[in-house]
Homo-oligomer: A and B are copies of this chain.
């Protein structure tokens, strides 16, 4: 192909939603203890203009400044807070958040494509998430899901991701040919800072669960993206290779790397250099999680920490063809429904 690669950011959240959303959520939470305060869904009114402004001033502006084209866009991860309330609370909240992401994608069809959050709730069977999942894929045209391995918010009361507990979700993922990003939400455990410990720990934990189990024997086409550069996995890849070896598992490339992918949300050059040195390029998807956990400018570089495109561009470890895979090709392979949409748009 002679055109320049598309730059597809596979990890964006709607962190800049109009404040009415948070106000409604706060009333919903208050309503758990005092039903008189519980708001109706119809009391949340956000206009298309408000959505447009919230995106144009923020994500879309930065995408244009940094030169990325498309963001795979899901509800704000820290706001999922699956530990709050029961299934009904999570279900209503997920429906609202997913609809907003769908509206953003409809307003900016060439720049945003939706991924669904699920109405998970601690101790509740994951199959209760299926109706919302189906709605998001069938009615909204979303191309993937976010799956929270710890709906308890830092208490880790759910079974490992390789447990049959999760299989109803996996069966739907296979049926729809959609991947899941493994993404926790806010930590309500004071030991774990949400974005500085809980997120990264979850990434590492999920990868190790995949090593311990044999999930991909049951689901050979199942695909997961582990965000934040895979937690500590690339840094400790020797350890993980060695642990798999002690457990008599196949080599990681055969045991998990046909099914597990890493994003590039690693906020400094040495980290991206390590990631691209250690992990096969076919397993790396460009992402920034921009306007997320780390919004500042790095005094050591003068650039935004989360402008990860610069690090991919600067790393000596990738050829141009490999950069194309990281920026576009791998995302189209891992998200076939994204590929179909882009193809339909002539991209």
Interface residues of A (CB under 8 A from B): 149-150, 154-156, 158-160, 189-193, 195-197, 200-201, 204-205, 208-209, 211-212, 228-229, 231-232, 234-243, 245-246, 266-271, 273-274, 277-278, 293-296, 298-300, 305-306
Q: A193-B205, A242-B305 are in contact. List 10 more A-B contacts (CB 8 A).
A: A155-B155, A156-B189, A156-B191, A160-B191, A192-B205, A193-B212, A197-B201, A201-B201, A201-B205, A239-B267
Bound Cα distance A231, B232 (Å): 7
Contact call B296/A245, Cβ cutoff below 8 A: yes
Contact call A195/B243, Cβ cutoff below 8 A: yes
The interface residues of chain B lying within 8 Å CB-to-CB of A237 are 268, 270-271
Bound Cα distance A277, B267 (Å): 15
Residue of B nearest to A163 (CB): B190
Cβ contact of A274, chosen from B196, B245, B274, cutoff 8 A:
B274
Most chain B CB neighbours (cut-off 10 Å) among A205, A209, A232? A232
The interface residues of chain B lying within 8 Å CB-to-CB of A228 are 236, 239
The interface residues of chain B lying within 8 Å CB-to-CB of A234 are 235, 270
Residue of B nearest to A205 (CB): B197
5 cross-chain CB contacts under 8 A: A192-B208, A232-B232, A238-B267, A241-B298, A242-B267
Bound Cα distance A210, B103 (Å): 41
**Closest 8 pairs (CB-CB, A-B):** A238-B268, A232-B232, A242-B294, A238-B267, A235-B235, A201-B201, A196-B208, A242-B305
Contact call B298/A238, Cβ cutoff below 8 A: yes
A242: min CB distance to chain B, Å: 3
Cβ contact of A294, chosen from B156, B196, B231, B246, cutoff 8 A:
B246
Residue of B nearest to A306 (CB): B242
A229: min CB distance to chain B, Å: 7
Bound Cα distance A209, B150 (Å): 20
The interface residues of chain B lying within 8 Å CB-to-CB of A241 are 268, 298, 300, 305
Contact call B200/A232, Cβ cutoff below 8 A: yes
A346: min CB distance to chain B, Å: 37
Contact call B160/A239, Cβ cutoff below 8 A: no
Residue of B nearest to A308 (CB): B238
Bound Cα distance A231, B191 (Å): 16
A214: min CB distance to chain B, Å: 15
Known: A197-B208, A242-B305. A274 touches B235 (CB 8 A): yes
Residue of B nearest to A267 (CB): B238
Contact call A238/B266, Cβ cutoff below 8 A: yes
A188: min CB distance to chain B, Å: 11
The interface residues of chain B lying within 8 Å CB-to-CB of A270 are 234, 237, 274, 277-278
Contact call A235/B232, Cβ cutoff below 8 A: yes
Bound Cα distance A27, B32 (Å): 48
A249: min CB distance to chain B, Å: 11
The interface residues of chain B lying within 8 Å CB-to-CB of A267 are 236, 238-239, 242
The interface residues of chain B lying within 8 Å CB-to-CB of A271 are 235-238, 274
Bound Cα distance A8, B183 (Å): 40
Bound Cα distance A270, B294 (Å): 25
Cβ contact of A266, chosen from B189, B196, B239, B306, cutoff 8 A:
B239
